[in-house]
Amino acid sequence: MFARPTETERGEVRMTVETGSGAVDGSPDGTDGATDGARGADAREPEDAWGEVTPDAARRLLLAAVEAFAERGFHATTTRDIASRAGMSPAALYIHYRTKEELLYQISRVGHERSVRILTEANDSATNPADRLAAAVHAFVRWHAERHTTARVVQYELNALAEEHYTEIVALRRRSEEILRGILEDGVAVGEFTVADIRGTALAVLSLCIDVARWFRSGGSRTPEEIGTLYADLVLRMVGAPAGGSREGDRPER
């Protein structure tokens, strides 16, 4: 029969990748794409973001998996492909990870923790809702563009996760959602934003940011920084708070 991954100790695969660290520096050469999703051609970026992963081989495998999953998708990627990209034999993978799915889980977990962290820090970077929203969108979008390879896996391969892992990740996603919704609520409360459907608008904003990972490609005409700026502006407009501070836009409540 088919032995399921036994619970034997095996180096304890659960690594403690310091999600934070100086990771958001990166390719300043990214740019926009078209309506067509990335097709393997690109899907590459300086992924030194995983520098913290403990055994060197484990890090190389993780990096190889990110590239492969982003290019071809989780199910279309073979363990042989991952191992060979990492310069190892197929069997070597199983020394560091119990299953192919665990690789995806690690990528997804670290990526989502990073997302929550980016949104949290942006949210704490200012007091007025408009600046908090602009900062959050700018940073979140920039990350999705700069780290589009990772982000593509993080955002679009969720369904391949095992049930228990999926549940854990969804909890992190809800946190992101709540942070954004909180900003909108505050903005409406202090009269800085004009939003009828807060929950719906929060979802739309998040969706807009996330989808950057799908279409962004290096070699286009816009840098991640520029797209972040564009999107922050668009989102401020969406909530009725034109960029540049809407001091004069405030209705005096009669």
The pattern of x and - marking residues 5 through 34 that bind DNA according to CB under 7 A reads: xx----x-----------------------
Q: Which of 91, 164, 221, 244 binds DNA (CB under 7 A)?
A: 91
Among a second copy, DNA, none, what binds residue 127 when CB lies within 5 to 8 Å by partner kind? none
Minimum Å distance from CB 66 to DNA?
Answer: 15
Contact between 55 and DNA by CB under 7 A: the answer reads yes
- Determine the Cα–Cα distance for residues 208 and 13; give it in Å rounded to an integer: 34
For 40, the token pair is 């393997």
How far, in Å, are 97, 188, 189, 251 from residue 192 at the CA level?
A: 49, 6, 8, 9
Q: Is beta strand 30-31 parallel, antiparallel or unpaired with respect to 217-218?
A: antiparallel
Minimum Å distance from CB 180 to DNA?
Answer: 35
Q: Which of residues 208-227 bind DNA (CB under 7 A)?
A: none
- Determine the Cα–Cα distance for residues 153 and 170; give it in Å rounded to an integer: 15
- Determine the Cα–Cα distance for residues 179 and 162; give it in Å rounded to an integer: 26
Q: Which of 19, 24, 73, 94 binds DNA (CB under 7 A)?
A: 94
The smaller minimum CB distance to a second copy, of residues 48 and 211, is found at 211
Helix, strand, coil share (%) of the chain residues, nearest 5: 60, 0, 40
- Determine the Cα–Cα distance for residues 209 and 178; give it in Å rounded to an integer: 15
Contact between 100 and DNA by CB under 7 A: the answer reads yes
Minimum Å distance from CB 170 to a second copy?
Answer: 5
Which residues lie near a second copy (CB under 8 A)? 32, 34-40, 72-73, 75-76, 156, 158-160, 166, 169-170, 173-174, 176-177, 196-197, 199-201, 203-204, 206-208, 210-212, 214-215, 222, 227, 230-231, 233-234, 237-238, 240
Of 172, 187, 181, nearest to 236 by C-alpha is: 187
Rounded to a whole number, what is the distance in angstroms from the first to the last CA of the chain? 75
- Tell me which residues touch DNA (CB under 7 A): 1-6, 11, 55-57, 77-80, 83, 87-92, 94-96, 98-101
